[in-house]
Amino acid sequence: SQQGEEDPQALSIQEGENATMNCSYKTSINNLQWYRQNSGRGLVHLILIRSNEREKHSGRLRVTLDTSKKSSSLLITASRAADTASYFCATDASGGSNYKLTFGKGTLLTVNP
Amino acid sequence: DVKVTQSSRYLVKRTGEKVFLECVQDMDHENMFWYRQDPGLGLRLIYFSYDVKMKEKGDIPEGYSVSREKKERFSLILESASTNQTSMYLCASSTGRLSNYGYTFGSGTRLTVV
């Protein structure tokens, strides 16, 4: 069952611009995570934000979480061509299995040089 | 450098064959997972294991089985491969409960069933 849904499905920007991707989910969560996937490869964990946190930073990444709206956003500042990838949100639903994440379908980000 | 290693990057098998996809992690993680990824459908969980010899069905277990005889190895088995099992298969591992530390993924196996 799909928990998180990313928006937009695809995003194309110029190098140096900021990229914002959104994720909405349906049920209460313990935490929400963002992953990156380069074409044809495995996913790489970027950042985790817990349900009692509102904002988190890691380098050029900024993640916000609004549990009242059941939504999260990932901001990549000063984008680079190397940021071109698919980005997925994943949720760990509270009350559900303590071990598994449910992933959205992803946002394909293209950063043009 | 910690790793999740999937035995093959590309695999071509015939319909009806029994197929084994192997995944090994060197991080002493308790939890291991098999997902398949298809265009427009995202990642879907097939099976996961939170301990040796333990397994639980994910969202789409039909046509698959798994084996976890050792902590570091989690095998996905396609009992009788079919063309609708052509997909990218991703193995992942994690430690602890509540997924506090995120997953580490392998590079994926692109399986084509002809």
Q: Does B94 touch chain A (CB under 8 A)?
A: yes
Residue of B nearest to A98 (CA): B98
Q: Does A39 touch chain B (CB under 8 A)?
A: no
Q: How confident is the model at residue A1, as a pLDDT?
A: 47
The residue-averaged pLDDT of B62-75 equals 97
Burial (0-12, 13-18, 19+ Cβ within 10 Å), B7: middle
Q: What is the tens place of the pLDDT at every residue in A32-71?
A: 999 999 988 899 999 999 999 999 999 999 999 999 999 9
Q: Decide if A89 contacts B42 (C-beta within 8 A).
A: no
Q: Decide if A56 contacts A63 (C-beta within 8 A).
A: yes
The secondary structure of residue B10, as a DSSP letter, is: E
Residues of B in contact with A35 (CB under 8 A): 102-103, 105
Residue A70 pairs in a beta bridge with none
Determine what percent of chain B is predicted with pLDDT higher than 70: 95
Residue of B nearest to A30 (CA): B98
Q: What is the tens place of the pLDDT at every residue in B11-47?
A: 999 999 999 999 999 999 999 999 999 988 889 999 9
